[in-house]
Structure 1
Amino acid sequence: MGIHKLMSLIDEKAPDAVKEITLDTLTGKKVAIDASMCIYQFLISTQTLKQGFGVTELRDKDGNLTGHLVGILNRTLSLLDHGIKPIWVFDGKAPQLKAGELEERKEKKKEAKEKMDQLMEEGKDDEAAKMAQRSIRVTPEMTEDAKKMLRLCNIPMVEAPSEAEAQCAQMVKDELAFATVTEDMDALTFGTTVLLRGFGNRKDPIRQITLSKVLEGFEMSMDEFIDLCILCGCDYTSSISGIGPVKAFKYITQYKTIEEVLEVLEKENTKSKSATKKRYQIPEEFLYKESRAFFNEPDVTKKEDLEEFKWGTPEEEALTKFLTEEKGFSEVTVNNALKKFKKTKGKANQKRLDTFFKMGTKKSTSKVTKTKAAVKSKGKKSFK
């Protein structure tokens, strides 16, 4: 979905739904992370521009990109260090509804790559760097490398049957995780109760968006919200030319459903002086019903079919061999990561207790003991 379109509406119409937080706020919680979205972010962030050499990227001996492995490893360690338990969720098979969107993206990446090569030949490195970001393509091999690394780190992950953000949302609804971590606003449309955005920029705070407060601020039901999101633009159908977020909000607020809105738009078009140039260009295949159905009932794995989540210690020898011999990591980098893994052990419990005492609430010894017992007991109920 158009990230800025929906986010701008939320900021304007439901500001109470957004809260700026720090990582310490999430101590003791589990989060479901949209791995596919993060992989793109990490690959972009590890691109560097060297004057006279163009854009360079982290690669292994076979030429495969490895920036995403660096990013996933560092993000995992950062979360664990703050007492947060990550669950990485990977995309499965894309729904047929998304075929057109994926083909369009593929074509745009191809055009960006051609433009990048041209700009590099002309010595316009800064412009080439921008095109390089747009041309990044994640291969199945790169995704498998990420999964293998997480398995060797003994960090839980889920392979979604379809869309990762839909799977994350389901896990949050099933109370297997506190929130979905992604930049993709579709996670809200899929029903995640809490969305966390902004992990990619250390300078800015993380933004926590609460779905119930969005609906309250918009004065909409979930069904109306889904229709609004489809009108704003989603990956599963073409958008209506002439309808932006402001008009989409106005129409859904007034008419409640896309069906009613379409009737109004058709009437507006009949008033147009030109028979060929209509005010609103409604696509011939406007698959809003199919998109609506997919948002309501996406292909996901439910709680009862997921194994128990466990956060273990890395398989040091196998992880070191994989990262150093196959992926080009230095031994120093891997050894430092392994040391950090050891330091994070038990951080969730310790940090939660630290926060408890910092609150300044006076508790008796017996109550503190009960708190420790409750924390320990809660740790045994996690799911994989």
Structure 2
Amino acid sequence: MGIKGLTKLLAEHAPGAAVRRRVEDYRGRVVAIDTSLSIYQFLIVVGRKGTEVLTNEAGEVTRSLKRDGSSEDLNRAIEVGDEDLIEKFSKRTVKVTKKHNEDCKRLLSLMGVPVVQAPGEAEAQCAALCENHKVFAIASEDMDSLTFGARRFLRHLTDLSFKRSPVTEFEVSKVLEELGLTMDQFIDLCILSGCDYCENIRGIGGQRALKLIRQHGYIEEVVQNLSQTRYSVPEDWPYQEVRALFKEPNVCTDIPDFLWTPPDEESVEKIKAANDKFSLGRGKLLAPVANLTGSTSTAGKEPKCILGGPGQVMKARSPLQLGISSVRGALGSWNAISRVLASTPFIRSLQAFIVLRMEAIVEGSKYECLLFDLDDTLYPFSSGINLACRKNIQDYMRRHLRIEESQIADMCLELYKEYGTTMAGLKALGYEFDNDEFHANVHGTLPYDNLHFDPVLRTLLLSIPQRKIIFTNSDKAHAEEVLCRVGIQDCFEGIICFETLNPPTPTCHGLHKPLSSISDELSSDLDDLDESDGFRPKSPILCKPSIEAMEAAIRIANVDPEKTIFFDDSVRNIASGKAAGFHTVIVGRPTLVPGADHALESIHNIKEALPEIWDGWSESDVVLASTASETTISENFEK
């Protein structure tokens, strides 16, 4: 996850620190890759259906895949013979083992790619290599690469979800210059904003952290001058230990020059076939690796691969890349090596092939975009988020708006029915309060720990070739938190949220893009809205289920509703979406409701209910797309 909100903070306060470049600009450069979860992602998609796993000729589970059979949910599903649940929970119990790591390091070496085993954090090791000029840059999605002092840091180098955007290159020297901070102060800023190694002070995000560091210099002075009634510093807060981790990480400094060797085709072939009895699909996936060719001298030669065509797509030589694995130190949990095959010319060719394939499929597809509601749609109602949110709204009405407690419950229900959200109803009745304050009170104490990484949903979303956009009534901070907790923050093109539909000023841009971006041109759409457009709601707050909100979303996202699928858990939102022209899917219900074209008991059932989304894709296409996708997930997936 890296540093919370740092990308947005730099975009606002240090815009010159980031430069957009093409992948081709790094041709011939040595780039250190911070590996994370590709092994885990791969294991989810290569297993056979249900309880079946990859085995050798003796019928034993091989080193290629092991599943934790202790899962109560999985055992229960097996007992009742529910194949769908068996498949679902079987995927959730996949574990990456030490043997997987060792096998992948060996495979990389046989393919001619140098591998460095980091004694501590992989990002820190990559940063040290960059600082010592062993590599030109480091490639990662974790923004704490900058906190570790990486001179040059690349995002989206090989990420399929960013195929419409160039690589973003950061230089730490420019970051410090534009923020007006020293490196030590920047480290303290990152700790205050929120990092992976300790909790932050509740109520302090990136913007406030920057203001406090500029005002007081360091965390010690910040804490000393904080309001004790408004902020609560965590007990035994280990910020000093985390600061030391960033300043003096455990890294290898005595590393010889990297040696690039041709792939050992014979040994790679032995790995493929010596001990394991692979399924047909798996054999096809490994075939291109065995056909890689290369030489210690790269002059005048290009890497080649055979996969029914992708080798013809990538004609230019790929950037030289370095795989870095990681074993976490005392302040974190063990972190598996991954992103292994992503550092090979084969995957770069494969990715280019998939990009073209996805675009071709979408052009001839029945659908062009999928709009997803967030709460109780992309995670289950049983998480308790909804109930906690209701309680917080009622508490706010009692404490801040001084509404009689005996009236609050009925009032909330009536306002929700009439205006779509209690907040919109309160504004319509003339109650005056700050929108940000309301959202902070309602969402600030939600039980987000009840939300967990969902690898099944993530893999499913990554396999969908169409545009995917979040459309929620909640504020963007809540949306970001939820998406990050579930591990799907980079699966969407953008977020249409409360701030999108209700900009505070006439010049506020339309679509908030904290995770990825919809075209910049679309962000000006809300600037042009006026009474004559018919998009101004009668209530001061624009939100679902109003038809005006649906039409505004269509305008902002620039979609054709007849080629767009709208997923929501609300019956009223579904009816409104249907009236706006969307194809509609009610989520969380086994049967259709008025206005719904499809019904899903769970968001995981999209493929069974709407197979036409993948028209033109074969099963191998889906596996390849999910496997080749370079994405970053919070390391809390192990919890």
SS at match of 1:341: coil
One-letter amino acid of the structure 2 residue matched with residue 233 of structure 1: G
Whole-Å Cα distance in 1 between the matches of residues 83 and 217 of structure 2?
50
**Is the counterpart of residue 219 in structure 1 residue 180 in structure 2?**
yes
Compute the TM-score of the two structures, normalised by the length of structure 2.
Answer: 0.40
Partner in structure 1 of residue 156 of structure 2: 198
Residues 203-234 of structure 1 deviation map (CA, whole Å, 9 limit, x = unaligned): 41332222122212212111110001111222
Whole-Å Cα distance in 2 between the matches of residues 222 and 158 of structure 1?
26
How far off its partner does 1:238 sit?
2.6
How far off its partner does 1:44 sit?
2.3
**Any stretches of 5+ residues in structure 1 without a counterpart?**
68-109, 273-278, 356-384
Relative contact order (C-alpha < 8 Å, sep 6+): which is higher? 1
How far off its partner does 1:156 sit?
0.7
Partner in structure 1 of residue 27 of structure 2: 27
Whole-Å Cα distance in 2 between the matches of residues 203 and 119 of structure 1?
34
One-letter amino acid of the structure 2 residue matched with residue 197 of structure 1: R
Residues 4-57 of structure 1 deviation map (CA, whole Å, 9 limit, x = unaligned): 52112122222222223332111111011112x1xx14532663499xx5699x
Task: Tell me which of 152, 157, 162 is aligned to 2:115.
Answer: 157
Confirm or deny: 8 A CA contact 1:49 1:125 kept in the other structure: no
Whole-Å Cα distance in 2 between the matches of residues 211 and 349 of structure 1?
34
Whole-Å Cα distance in 2 between the matches of residues 49 and 319 of structure 1?
19
Whole-Å Cα distance in 1 between the matches of residues 23 and 277 of structure 2?
30
Confirm or deny: 8 A CA contact 2:19 2:170 kept in the other structure: yes
Whole-Å Cα distance in 2 between the matches of residues 251 and 195 of structure 1?
26
Compute the TM-score of the two structures, normalised by the length of structure 1.
Answer: 0.64
Confirm or deny: 8 A CA contact 2:63 2:100 kept in the other structure: yes
Q: 1:292 to 1:116 in 2, by over 3 A?
A: farther
Whole-Å Cα distance in 1 between the matches of residues 176 and 292 of structure 2?
41
Partner in structure 2 of residue 10 of structure 1: 10
How far off its partner does 1:243 sit?
1.6
Q: 1:48 to 1:214 in 2, by over 3 A?
A: same
Alignment of 1:166-185 (within 5 A): 166-185=124-143
SS at match of 2:274: helix
Partner in structure 2 of residue 340 of structure 1: 292
How far off its partner does 1:136 sit?
5.4
Q: Which moved more, 1:146-155 or 1:338-347?
A: 338-347
Bigger CA radius of gyration: 2
Whole-Å Cα distance in 2 between the matches of residues 328 and 207 of structure 1?
42
Partner in structure 1 of residue 191 of structure 2: 230
**Is the counterpart of residue 240 in structure 1 residue 191 in structure 2?**
no
One-letter amino acid of the structure 2 residue matched with residue 310 of structure 1: L
Confirm or deny: 8 A CA contact 1:29 1:178 kept in the other structure: yes
Confirm or deny: 8 A CA contact 2:185 2:213 kept in the other structure: yes
SS at match of 1:342: coil
Whole-Å Cα distance in 1 between the matches of residues 89 and 138 of structure 2?
28
Q: 1:290 to 1:173 in 2, by over 3 A?
A: same
How far off its partner does 1:160 sit?
1.3
**Any stretches of 5+ residues in structure 2 without a counterpart?**
304-315, 318-639
Residues 149-185 of structure 1 deviation map (CA, whole Å, 9 limit, x = unaligned): 1122232111112111111100000000011112222
Q: 1:117 to 1:301 in 2, by over 3 A?
A: same
Two-structure CA RMSD over aligned residues (Å): 3.8
SS at match of 1:299: coil
Q: 1:136 to 1:334 in 2, by over 3 A?
A: closer
Partner in structure 2 of residue 311 of structure 1: 260
Alignment of 1:1-384 (within 5 A): 1-35=1-35, 37=36, 40-44=37-41, 47-48=44-45, 59=54, 61=56, 62-63=60-61, 66=64, 137-199=95-157, 201-204=159-162, 205=165, 206-265=167-226, 268-269=227-228, 272=229, 279-302=230-253, 305-326=254-275, 333-342=285-294, 346=298
Whole-Å Cα distance in 1 between the matches of residues 46 and 73 of structure 2?
16
Give the helix-richer structure, 1 or 2: 1
Q: 1:306 to 1:281 in 2, by over 3 A?
A: same
Partner in structure 1 of residue 462 of structure 2: none
Residues 351-383 of structure 1 deviation map (CA, whole Å, 9 limit, x = unaligned): 9xx99xxxxxxxxxxxxxxxxxxxxxxxxxxxx
Residues 125-165 of structure 1 deviation map (CA, whole Å, 9 limit, x = unaligned): 69x969957x6543211111111111222321111121111
Confirm or deny: 8 A CA contact 1:17 1:209 kept in the other structure: yes
Q: 1:139 to 1:46 in 2, by over 3 A?
A: closer
Confirm or deny: 8 A CA contact 1:49 1:129 kept in the other structure: no
Confirm or deny: 8 A CA contact 1:49 1:55 kept in the other structure: no
